[in-house]
Structure 1
Amino acid sequence: MPKLIKNLGAIVRRPISAGVIAVLALSSLTLPAQARETLRIGYQKSSTLISLLKTQGKLDKALAAANIEVSWHEFPSRLPLLEALNVGNIDVSADVADTVPIFAQAAQAKLTYFAQEAPSPSAQAIVVHKDSPLQQLADLKGKKVAVAKAAGAHYLLIAALNQAGLKFSNIEPAYLTPADGRAAFENHKVDAWVTWEPFLSGVQRQLPTRTLVDGSGLASYKRYYLTSTRYAKAHPEVLKLVYEQLHEAGIRIKNHPRDAAQVLGPLWGNLDVETVEAANARCSYQIQPVSADQLGEQQKIADTFFAARLLPKAVDAHDVEIWKP
């Protein structure tokens, strides 16, 4: 384009022939269009708001208006998702549990918080069978408890045991994925199960259970949205669009729970609508900015996991980059 402008300056002092006009017209038609940017989003099947936006095409449409194309990348679990974000294979991560950024910091990943969902403490709980002799947290002493290692449920279990005056060594942990944890619980291979939504509502609706305790007063259970620090600095306007779409999706899911459940059910292993609605009722889905003064519980998680030797090093939860909408 600069060369074309220079050439134009050289000929303005001469009469313009029809041939020159034709050449210029042809040149303007063949100039390359502005290339579209691509936003690479990593997500899991459990990524509620992102899954809704993807399935309904709302985020693609909003970004297309800004000449941005979305590239979707599904991951089976949080670890490969986190690694992909850290090495630059994706730009943005859908929601992850509050424990995930702590492990990212321990691994010295260059990640930035760009949104969070307000606390949903009742979206995870410790459950036992309805006819179980276990009536209170103290009764877990010497019992076998299924839990996903290093997940938010693991932090809830440690916090609950501490409240009951027990140490983690007072129980026998069975580190299992949610699917395996459900099978072990259903077949009475464990005495209790610590899990989160939608697995929590699923087992409560399909089996006679009791809840020993949920996260209220113990673990807030926030979900965080992450981006690479490099991307946050280079494309704040794109993050603003994503933030706005997430915020609107959170409002829609609360205003239209049945519609959302009908979309999510097939994505969550063909769960029935009632179970999905029950699960979503316990989740805030309220998108908020992240601020450093709200990371106190993140520090508690970091300290707890370091003491439990789940983290290789101590972590300052406040030593992070935070994008502001």
Structure 2
Amino acid sequence: MKFASLDFTRRQITAAAVGTVLALAAGSSALAQAAKPASLRIGFQKSASLLTLQKAQGTLEKRLQVLGVPVQWVEFPAGPQLLEGLNVGSVDVGFVGEAPPIFAQAAGANFVYIGNDPASPEAEAIVVPKDSPIKSVAELKGRKVALNKGSNVHYLLVKALEKAGLKYSDIQPVFLPPADARAAFERGAVDAWVIWDPFLAAVEKQSGARLLADGRGVVSNHAYYLAERGYAQKYPQVIDALFEDTVAQGRWLKTHLDEAATLIAPLQGLDVEIVKLSLHRAQFNVQPITAAIAAEQQKIADTFADLKLIPKPVRIADALPGARKAVAAR
């Protein structure tokens, strides 16, 4: 059964998780499947609200206790840095936006996609200060625009400029991680900022930042769960437990937004109302990767290759679990 070609309904998610395990485990020895890892090291960002909730509630630890596998949480400021951690072996799994895996794959990182959170186009946007004279994306020509290089908003910026009749080369990108970008934005060192939730919700609520455009009608803004390829192949039962817990907690979050926001807010250092806004704009409906989702990701990869943002073209299919033999053979 090929993981990338499956198409699931929501009620089939549990069965899909089993399919994921089978795909990841194919070709592994019985001994490898039975082996127990020293731990599950999860790369996360405080902005990853669902993982932050899981960490706060300890639900994954309870599931993995049965397998005798402890959980370690390793925090990163953003997706590109998290993928660097995955590439050098400091974490086993991670959750990032749609662009970081492409940059990482182009750099030779050895990972597989194990799941995705459906499209959340409202959860990322291009913003300007409330008193800025800039009224449209077209007016960004020649302006300084802050963003985290290689993050999900990198693609939003490219496509929003394209929709406005501009090229990426028409603006001056200023690459900064979220905290530094917020500081530059508020002191007027940049003209606009491309950012995702909950940083987006925070700058809207706290600084009155004005939206020029979000992802609606421009990009899908998927988010992805990734695993180091060797770990996923050796320990499919751990990946299965992670998937099941993420599905369960995602459903709980969407039906208990107020309670979830109260738990998450102090961990993100934000007001509850800011967190509620960010939670409202995300799906938290974790699903396996389908062929259609992989095709969307390939379009992003091709765009980045055309713009020379990555050093070489990449094939998203090479980072799907069923492709591991073909990759190893090259």
TM over 0.5: yes
**Aligned residues: CA RMSD:** 2.1
Largest Rg, 1 or 2? 1
| Separation of aligned partners in 2, 1:136 and 1:36 | 51
| Separation of aligned partners in 2, 1:85 and 1:251 | 27
Paired residue type of 2:132: S
| Separation of aligned partners in 1, 2:36 and 2:238 | 16
Residues 257 and 182 of structure 1: is their aligned pair in 2 closer, same or farther, counting only changes over 3 Å? same
| Separation of aligned partners in 2, 1:193 and 1:203 | 10
Partner of 1:91: 92
Partner of 1:300: 299
**Deviation of the 1:35 alpha carbon:** 7.8
**Deviation of the 1:64 alpha carbon:** 0.8
**Deviation of the 1:50 alpha carbon:** 1.9
Residues 173 and 241 of structure 1: is their aligned pair in 2 closer, same or farther, counting only changes over 3 Å? same
Could you tell me the percent identity over the aligned residues? Answer: 47
Partner of 1:320: 319
**Deviation of the 1:80 alpha carbon:** 4.7
CA offsets, 1:238-273, max 9 Å, x none?
2111101001111111111122112221221x2110
Partner of 1:27: none
Partner of 1:277: 276
* Mapped pair 1:214 → 2:220: no
Q: What runs of 5+ residues in structure 2 fail to find an aligned partner? A: 1-34, 323-330
CA contact (8 A) 1:155 1:301 kept: yes
Residue correspondences, number? 288
Q: Secondary structure at the match of 2:317?
A: coil
| Separation of aligned partners in 1, 2:37 and 2:154 | 43
Q: What runs of 5+ residues in structure 1 fail to find an aligned partner? A: 1-33
CA contact (8 A) 2:37 2:235 kept: no
Q: Which is bigger in relative contact order (C-alpha 8 A, separation at least 6)? A: 2
Paired residue type of 1:67: G
Residues 75 and 194 of structure 1: is their aligned pair in 2 closer, same or farther, counting only changes over 3 Å? closer
| Separation of aligned partners in 2, 1:209 and 1:282 | 17
TM-score by length of 1: 0.82
| Separation of aligned partners in 1, 2:37 and 2:301 | 40
**Deviation of the 1:77 alpha carbon:** 4.2
TM-score by length of 2: 0.81
| Separation of aligned partners in 2, 1:35 and 1:219 | 40
CA contact (8 A) 1:291 1:322 kept: no
| Separation of aligned partners in 2, 1:119 and 1:200 | 17
Q: Give the helix-richer structure, 1 or 2.
A: 2
Partner of 1:50: 51
Q: Secondary structure at the match of 1:261?
A: helix
Paired residue type of 2:209: T
Residues 180 and 70 of structure 1: is their aligned pair in 2 closer, same or farther, counting only changes over 3 Å? closer
After TM superposition, the structure 1 stretch with the greater mean CA deviation from structure 2, 72-81 or 122-131, is: 72-81
